[in-house]
Structure 1
């Protein structure tokens, strides 16, 4: 079986070329990468942080015409060299108590471009948008594992279980599959209006929302599922169908080259068409491109960022008590659902895509 965790020399070469092109366009000699997302992308799936919530890595990468240098504190050096770093990088070890980067690599230093610079940030976003072959293979495997996690958890729910118990199962299933649970949300019957329902000690009751954002090799798969532990009402079934219609509008507009603002407008306008308040989109973000960040970036009405071929998207339209979300790839043959396991009940939408139904367990 292919080792999807091993860095791909071919993908790494393309990423390096993209970064060197950015340096040439901006007239800089070196680029310094420090964020978890950029480091995981450029180091081809390495885990550059220790805390799951960390936004900055415990390492930094300096890219220049001579090669890539990974700056590592001494207490992390052996593990990272043995388990995480590509073989083609130079490693510079620093004292763990000293600053990772010296003043010669700080913002404003001659010839240095740091990723927090707006020009660098936009250039890097564009560079990582189109996923490469090894990344795509990893994403497909991660998407399936995230979907399997949701199914395995859903099949063990019961009305008296607490949200925290359900969240523990979600997190455990992800970790057992080698993925980090960067977001785990559970809403029971009493908390369904909350879009970001951090789990509590309350009982699940008759209807449950499960949400995961699972990270592996730096990539993040996002998905939401609904479970009915009592027969759904006609109103619930109707709202579920209508919110899926809103998602269909987002997905139909998601074509390579189209500005995010246009895709956003197509999806947002569908709320009124599907019987929701026209301003429902203002109550929660609607998603957007994804990959090495949960959203890269979050789509907004005025966003001019174009979608790219080979990019992943995760739209998440929602209203009170309803939401839909999956991670899909803008592939050569059209949209491909990544977060699917072939087990969860699904129905084809107007685009021919299999979309998850509410899992009825009663």
Structure 2
């Protein structure tokens, strides 16, 4: 067992001890990818995992569908050392999906497991920094080739190609031309990009997810881009270790009217939240009681009509480190942090 796996198994065991449980079965792709060092645990990108993991005080046992054992052992799990892998019939529910006597289901300790995977290890941070750089550079390369007459689907296809070439999986691909910028989740169509276009990417590699949004073409009408960057700066300032996500969200909500947006602008789209092994882990809501952890990744995504800002950042030692950064993309200084602005068509 590698040191990374050992640390993570110990974190799960600490949860078991705190909850007075003898065993738990991990079944979610987020927890399994985290535990197993970023192993690809699904076949359809957002499908159900092909294995489950039972953790007790002294044992770690993996139950893997029989038709996936060889691939996982040879291509995904080999860096982790010797593991107890049990072949499971492909036509029967995995342990944990089907109740397993003596083991608590993952859902019963979901909040504790989110906290366990929130603080990223140094090896995870290195993976994340490399992923963030690669994905940001891929988006820049695609944006540099786009033209106003290109369709949204052409832009999304080019992004998918570039992301897959980095070894990542595109799990979110959105594109909006000038005529559809009012939509917060613009699935691509045959419409033209026009004079201003939004590109949104979520890409997963080694289990970790990089999220970012970029604009190509003109700046937004008026000064809404600049005012929204000020909202994001307030979000960064509010994301302090130990604070509840609900409190951070309340500060973000108050920031909108402070910078000239409608009081209820924050209600028109979710504002993001912690990320890592899930796109949002969890999404920040007024009821979210999770607390900010040192060494945790976040993807806040403030938005307003026609504009949005989003990057994956690390919150550590009271500082914000932008992970999805490409020096070739134009930026503006906002509170000492370089933030992306619209990139003119080439």
**One fold, TM greater than 0.5?**
yes
Paired residue for 2:199? 210
2:261 matches 1:276 = yes
- Distance (Å, rounded) in 1 between the aligned partners of 2:178 and 2:57: 57
Write the deviation string for residues 308-340 of structure 1: whole angstroms up to 9, x where unpaired.
000001100101110000010012361100000
Confirm or deny: 8 A CA contact 2:25 2:95 kept in the other structure: no
Write the deviation string for residues 235-294 of structure 1: whole angstroms up to 9, x where unpaired.
625111111111111011111111111211111111101111010000000001111110
Paired residue for 2:144? 155
2:123 matches 1:134 = yes
2:308 matches 1:323 = yes
2:333 matches 1:353 = no
Query: How do residues 252-331 of structure 1 correspond to structure 2 at under 5 angstroms?
Result: 252-331=237-316
- Distance (Å, rounded) in 1 between the aligned partners of 2:292 and 2:318: 16
Secondary structure of residue in 1 paired with 2:202: strand
Confirm or deny: 8 A CA contact 1:208 1:227 kept in the other structure: yes
Deviation of 1:148 (Å) = 0.7
Confirm or deny: 8 A CA contact 1:191 1:197 kept in the other structure: yes
- Distance (Å, rounded) in 1 between the aligned partners of 2:304 and 2:332: 21
- Distance (Å, rounded) in 1 between the aligned partners of 2:13 and 2:21: 9
Deviation of 1:67 (Å) = 2.1
Number of equivalences: 344
- Distance (Å, rounded) in 1 between the aligned partners of 2:295 and 2:4: 14
Distance verdict in 2 for CA 1:147–1:237, change over 3 Å: farther
- Distance (Å, rounded) in 2 between the aligned partners of 1:99 and 1:204: 45
Confirm or deny: 8 A CA contact 2:26 2:96 kept in the other structure: no
Compare 120-129 and 260-269 and name the one that shifted more. 260-269
- Distance (Å, rounded) in 1 between the aligned partners of 2:76 and 2:253: 41
Paired residue for 1:249? 234
Deviation of 1:98 (Å) = 2.5
Q: Which runs of 4+ in 1 moved over 3 A?
A: none
Paired residue for 1:58? 50
Consecutive unaligned residues in structure 2, runs of 5 or more: none
- Distance (Å, rounded) in 2 between the aligned partners of 1:189 and 1:321: 8
- Distance (Å, rounded) in 2 between the aligned partners of 1:310 and 1:106: 34
Give the aligned CA root-mean-square deviation in angstroms: 1.5
- Distance (Å, rounded) in 2 between the aligned partners of 1:308 and 1:128: 10
Consecutive unaligned residues in structure 1, runs of 5 or more: 1-7
